[in-house]
Structure 1
């Protein structure tokens, strides 16, 4: 018996149509220095230039824009460490709705301020003792809000996949696509596109060493939980892959590479010094894996590699602190 996949390439194409004129078509940058360091042609999809500073706006708007007028009138809710929070807050504002966001107490102040700046109400919790999904669902139910989860939603996943769709439209064939992994929504959408359009492409996810839940889960063939990750890559501090995202990723993702905080810092520095870009730790993890040689290509390095730089939300103080370490 065949199981229908939760999202298809057509779902991503439908999301692209829904998002046209709403999201930025972010640039793809090249660097001869980077190509020489990696030994391949590298194509960087710069979602740090997306609205709210991260790819998350794609999925949040795709999901929110499909709600009924009644649901939008009541308002939306979300739980997030920062980028999804900002994305849902902005999507709600664009659609004439309101948003209540559950955020960890230790969320970087810049992300909290940006979320509030889009008009959202913020409720905080302790990420090390609280279950954000349970708290978020309870809050939404109590207030009569529609919850837009950060990755466990087909419209969210399809929206995230539009970044990879744009990349393939702009650069053509790729031998490999490297994608940061948190809850798995970005790589699930990206893998759906890559495997649907590019012959023989390898899709590689990248996680911080401290939060290797997806790697362990893929190896075990079922979802595995890890202790709350403590990494500078706060956007990837996930304990367990999403059920929906894992159902996609276990079929389509070819492997997971792990990177250290030090390797992420090196990638952030290179992006700043050579490419003149600010990339947050989670956004730089894919680039870090390439630069540090952490991806097992099982032979020769692919000739053409796409990398999604997933976000750039970091304040100047924190950026300077990390890059100076």
Structure 2
């Protein structure tokens, strides 16, 4: 740590812990043997997705709201958020009888917009990015006399998020590594300040989406491009916090950038291996372990599953994509002579080989098919990649010459 004065201290986090005690869930810290087997580390998961609004954001929001004056409470609060901070502010504002307005980007997932409204907040959809939403929120705050509740660049918010680290180290004192997602830096800052004060030797690793390397750029002096559609929209932040940057710079041992494929794999792993819901940002820590397994192998790692507000259709899409990557779902085309009963025989043969047919298309009008020929496009589910290869090899040996169809619908060359 440098000698620079940081925005919060361990005492601030401990004071915040007294505020949140009994008001937000003390979430469980659960051993994750299946994730440990996948990563080669001993993994423990802090399930912040079990909070009433589905994310850790409740902690910082509650601490901030309880520090308002009576006049500020009467006038009300305003926040900008892609979803989780919005829900947290709305939820606890209603509990405390404080009027709340939330400005959200227009592309915010519908589940987060509706959940925020359900907590009684006035929702204003504005702008394509959080930056544009923030500008609108500040304008409304000025026009209507509202208190702006920043999602990360606020000492009260950071201290509230830091209570997660206190609980993690209380539950598993011999952790040697924490892996924490970084968006604007509020979660990382609060947790790092608390964790490093309690255990200076702790390795605290930050994680950003590859498409939004804001802190990486600021700290490394690099100029990687920022922007684009990411599954981890909760950490898709273009501008680092002025209060959080010095903390991340001082206390992060490393910032790992993760590709979208790793984030998708992590979301799927939480669903299939840990049996729990994780949004993209919530799964970023596990994604870093998948991206850099050698960095964590043999270590005792604490992960923060910081949010579980993922749209059901998106989760379904991610899980299917992972099945395709694992070659447990495969598409292929058979082109052969058009004979009565052909489709039934192919279907029966696939059943004998243990494949489950998900989709089939029977075509005679393609110009690359002989006039007396037929093409059959099939999508099947198999046990694993080896099973897939065995099925295709059997069909090839039986003269059906299957050709793989890739993810874009193009025929792969033999």
TM over 0.5: yes
Shift of 1:63: 0.3
Where in structure 2 are the equivalents of 1:34-183 lying within 5 Å? 34-128=35-129, 131-183=132-184
Runs of 4+ off more than 4 Å: none
- Could you say which residue in structure 2 is the equivalent of 1:275? 274
Contact 1:174 1:198 in 2 (8 A): no
Q: Distance in 2 between matches of 1:10 and 1:301?
A: 33
Structure 1 unaligned regions, length at least 5: none
Contact 1:225 1:239 in 2 (8 A): no
- Could you say which residue in structure 2 is the equivalent of 1:315? 311
Structure 2 unaligned regions, length at least 5: 322-414
3-state DSSP of counterpart to 2:49: helix
Contact 1:226 1:240 in 2 (8 A): no
Q: Distance in 1 between matches of 2:206 and 2:130?
A: 27
Structure 1 vs Structure 2 CA RMSD = 1.9
Relative to structure 1, the CA distance from residue 275 to residue 128 in structure 2 (aligned partners, 3 Å threshold; closer, same or farther) is: closer
- Equivalent pairs, count: 320
- Could you say which residue in structure 2 is the equivalent of 1:301? 297
3-state DSSP of counterpart to 2:87: helix
When structure 1 is superposed on structure 2, of 224-233 and 40-49 the one drifting more is: 224-233
Where in structure 2 are the equivalents of 1:15-26 lying within 5 Å? 15-26=16-27
Q: Distance in 1 between matches of 2:51 and 2:253?
A: 27
When structure 1 is superposed on structure 2, of 124-133 and 250-259 the one drifting more is: 124-133
**Is it true that 1:236 corresponds to 2:235 in the alignment?**
yes
Q: Looking at both structures, which has the greater relative contact order when contacts are Cα pairs under 8 Å and sequence separation is at least 6?
A: 1
Deviations 1:31-60 (A, max 9, x none): 222222222211111111112100001001
Shift of 1:210: 0.5
Q: Distance in 1 between matches of 2:153 and 2:200?
A: 28
Shift of 1:131: 2.5
Q: Distance in 2 between matches of 1:128 and 1:172?
A: 39
Shift of 1:324: 1.6
> TM-score, normalising length from structure 1?
0.94
Contact 1:28 1:44 in 2 (8 A): yes
Contact 2:64 2:157 in 1 (8 A): yes
Shift of 1:241: 1.0
Shift of 1:138: 1.1
3-state DSSP of counterpart to 1:240: coil
